[in-house]
Amino acid sequence: MSTHMVDINAPRMESHAGALPDGKPARLLRLADKALGVMSEVPAALLVVAEIGVLFSGVLSRYVLHTPLVWVDELASLLFIWLIMLGAAVAFRRGSHMRMTALVDAATPKWRGVFELVATVAALTWLTLVAHPAWEFASEEAAVTMPALDISNAWRAAALPLGIALILLMSVVRLLATSTLRVALLALLACGAVVGGLVMLQPVLQGLGNANLLVFFVGIVGLLVFTGVPIAFSFGLATFGYLSLTTSTPTIVVIGRMDEGMSHLILLAVPMFVFLGVLIEMTSMARAMVQFLANLLGHIRGGLSYVLIGAMYLVSGISGSKAADMAAVAPALFPEMKKRGADDGDMVALLAATGAQTETVPPSLVLITIGSVTGISIADLFTAGLMPGIVLALVLGLVVWWQARKSGAACSARATRAMIGKSLVVALPALALPFVVRAAVVEGVATATEVSTIGIVYALIVGLLVYRKLDLRQLWPALVDTAALSGAILLIIGTATGMAWSLTQSGFSGDLAAAMAQLPGGAPAFMAVSIIAFVLLGSVLEGIPAIVLFGPLLFPIARQLGIHDVHYSMVVVLAMGIGLFAPPFGVGYYAACAISRTKPSEGVRHIWRYMAFLFIGTVVVAAVPWISTGFLHH
């Protein structure tokens, strides 16, 4: 989601299969779909459990038994690539890969069907093209031996061709289930004609030089993304097309770059924090936090709006997934806000704005991604992320105060001290979690990846012993959901890494760096251009792919101009957050609407006010480096 967001309105595969006439082919397709579902979901969920076990055993052996297990990282890395590929398969079957649906949602039902067909055929095309290079890559890795485990690296690399083959089968089943055989064949023929046409144009394309970057990475990516093709497949198709048609680079390189990009051990924090976010909701820890804040501030005019800002700040520090944060806070607060006369549109606008406000609050997945692609210390990023979030919370608080004063919002009865005290006692174990997580990373007890497992074990113990709200029947679906969301996020990182590598190899990054470094006005001008660029990138691309693509290009320039790495990181993340949660393109805004069950049109009137103030807050953070770097150990 990083949001990391999933397309909540995307159809599930079963609904298509279920809509077919009850003939033999339809029953076979349903059976095939179910079998592929079991083949991907069961191992993916078990891999999440295995990763938690492996990482937590690493922490225990190092800090409790003082005998580090040398094979932990290798085994975690081996399991991780399988988790990504199987998770991506689960996400594909569910229709929950991240995609831009603004155009699709506005279309008539007939055209929507056409867009869905295009998305399926585009995915099918990319998977077919990379299947053989993935197999070659796994075969070459067979000669490499993992030093600690003393087994062939093929055990790890085989995840790529097998995962691709699984998703390829799913796309064939989906194509046959959602259209007649005639339409499916026509779609495939049309796709073949497009690929054939591009191959025939190869001599022309090779003569274009760097103009091909515009053709493939602006034209083709833009066309695919806007027609609703999942972002990961859009990036993958454009990169494969660019390398195979305009360069002499072997296509196996694409798979190597993908593998390198998405299997950074740091990124293992993604599934761990996503699962932790789910646990917080399941164990009622989020509800306990919100109840305490409501008792503390509920009597102030507009009090529950302040509670929403504070609760998102607290919860954001735990789950790392924006969709999980909003899903944890909104259901606990919105019914009470409605009772007190809050407007649906204003509530969803403030929810989306708090999503953007808390993007830097650790352990944010975007910060983890920045650390993985730029080499900046994640402990430094986590330490720095707290203050910018507070600055933006104060800015949003000003808007709430002004609105409440203007509208004369009703005040509710003040909670008694006894009620506040009681709710504080109930909330204390939950309130402690963000501090436990942060302290463990900042003090160096555990890495960003390992600390998530400490949080998971803590949440399980507190859920079982203190809140006694842990429904074990919900754990299995939660594990499958975690694998699906993680696979969707990490596949984008993989394909975006391939795309970023292509941009770097073409020399474009050097040209861009030179142009931005020579902007008149030096560092302030560069910072201003970066803010505007990342607001736009965040609205179209989502935070994580934007960072993977442009982080390696822009961070070195910022460094040359004397801007602190950590300061630049905070500004970039806040700017992307505004883009991610601002309509009409911001995916985060639609996720907020889906979670709060509000029509997107209702919040649009209100959100611009919040976004304008968030932009002012971001400019303040950019202008005052101390906000980001004041608490770092120099």
Query: Read out DSSP for 530-542?
Result: HHHHHHHHHHHH-
Task: Report the pLDDT averaged over residues 617-633.
Answer: 90
Instruction: Tell me how far CA of residue 507 lies from CA of 218, 248, 502, 511, 513, in angstroms.
Output: 16, 15, 9, 7, 10
The answer to whether residues 210 and 331 belong to one domain is no
Inside any domain, residue 594 = no
Percentage, residues of the chain above pLDDT 70: 90
pLDDT tens track for 139-166: 998 888 888 888 888 899 999 999 999 9
pLDDT of residue 477: 92
C-alpha 215 chain-centroid distance: 27
The answer to whether residues 383 and 332 belong to one domain is yes
The answer to whether residues 175 and 308 belong to one domain is no
Residues 179 and 157: their CA atoms lie apart, in Å, by 34
User: pLDDT band at residue 568, thresholds of 50, 70 and 90?
Assistant: very high
Secondary structure letter of residue 2 according to DSSP:
B
pLDDT tens track for 456-488: 888 888 888 888 877 778 889 989 988 998 898
Contacting residues for 81 by C-beta, under 8 A, at least 6 apart:
156, 157, 159, 160, 259, 262, 263
pLDDT tens track for 395-422: 999 999 988 877 665 566 777 888 889 9
Instruction: Considering only residues 372 and 18, tell me which one the structure prediction assigns the higher pLDDT.
Output: 372
Range of the domain at 326: 269-345+378-473
**Residue 168 · residue 146 · CB < 8 Å:** no
User: pLDDT band at residue 3, thresholds of 50, 70 and 90?
Assistant: very low
Which of 280, 355, 374, 317 is CA-nearest to residue 594? 355
Least confident residue range of 271-285, 423-437, 530-544, 556-570:
530-544
Q: Which of 423, 452, 473 is the last residue of a domain?
A: 473
Query: Mean pLDDT for the chain?
Result: 82
The answer to whether residues 388 and 443 belong to one domain is yes
pLDDT at residue 589 tops 60: yes
Inside any domain, residue 123 = yes
> Which residue bears the tokens 């990182």?
493
Range with the largest mean pLDDT of 127-136, 182-191, 213-222, 582-591:
127-136
pLDDT tens track for 237-296: 999 999 888 888 888 988 998 898 888 777 787 788 778 877 887 888 878 877 888 788
pLDDT tens track for 315-354: 776 655 676 677 777 777 787 787 777 778 888 889 989 9
User: pLDDT band at residue 20, thresholds of 50, 70 and 90?
Assistant: very low
Residues 42 and 40: their CA atoms lie apart, in Å, by 6
pLDDT at residue 129 tops 50: yes
Residues 357 and 365: their CA atoms lie apart, in Å, by 14
The answer to whether residues 293 and 229 belong to one domain is no
Instruction: Considering only residues 592 and 626, tell me which one the structure prediction assigns the higher pLDDT.
Output: 626
The total of other beta-carbon atoms located within 10 Å of residue 43's CB is: 17
The answer to whether residues 82 and 36 belong to one domain is yes
User: pLDDT band at residue 634, thresholds of 50, 70 and 90?
Assistant: low
User: pLDDT band at residue 566, thresholds of 50, 70 and 90?
Assistant: very high
User: pLDDT band at residue 509, thresholds of 50, 70 and 90?
Assistant: low
Inside any domain, residue 581 = no
The answer to whether residues 287 and 330 belong to one domain is yes
| DSSP characters over 21-89 | -SSHHHHHHHHHHHHHHHHHHHHHHHHHHHHHHHHHHHHHHHHTSS---TTHHHHHHHHHHHHHHHHHH
The answer to whether residues 291 and 244 belong to one domain is no
Task: Report the pLDDT averaged over residues 373-396.
Answer: 89
The answer to whether residues 402 and 444 belong to one domain is yes
The answer to whether residues 249 and 273 belong to one domain is no
| DSSP characters over 84-116 | HHHHHHHHHHHT-S----HHHHHS-HHHHHHHH
User: pLDDT band at residue 66, thresholds of 50, 70 and 90?
Assistant: confident
Inside any domain, residue 164 = yes
State yes or no: cis peptide before 250, omega within 30 of 0: no
Secondary structure letter of residue 509 according to DSSP:
H
The answer to whether residues 313 and 229 belong to one domain is no
pLDDT of residue 353: 92
Least confident residue range of 75-84, 154-163, 538-547, 580-589:
538-547
User: pLDDT band at residue 442, thresholds of 50, 70 and 90?
Assistant: low
Q: Which of 473, 504, 529 is the last residue of a domain?
A: 473
Q: Which of 430, 445, 473 is the last residue of a domain?
A: 473
Inside any domain, residue 8 = no
User: pLDDT band at residue 624, thresholds of 50, 70 and 90?
Assistant: very high
pLDDT of residue 324: 67
pLDDT tens track for 206-231: 777 778 888 888 888 888 888 888 88
pLDDT of residue 537: 77
Quote the number of domains for the chain: 2
The answer to whether residues 176 and 49 belong to one domain is yes
Percentage, residues of the chain above pLDDT 90: 22
Q: What is the pTM of this model?
A: 0.78
Query: In a 3-state reduction of DSSP, which class is residue 592?
Result: helix
- Burial of 252 by CB count in 10 Å (0-12 exposed, 13-18 middle, 19+ buried)? middle
Inside any domain, residue 423 = yes
**Residue 194 · residue 229 · CB < 8 Å:** no
Token readout for 205 is: 């394309």
Inside any domain, residue 223 = yes
Inside any domain, residue 456 = yes
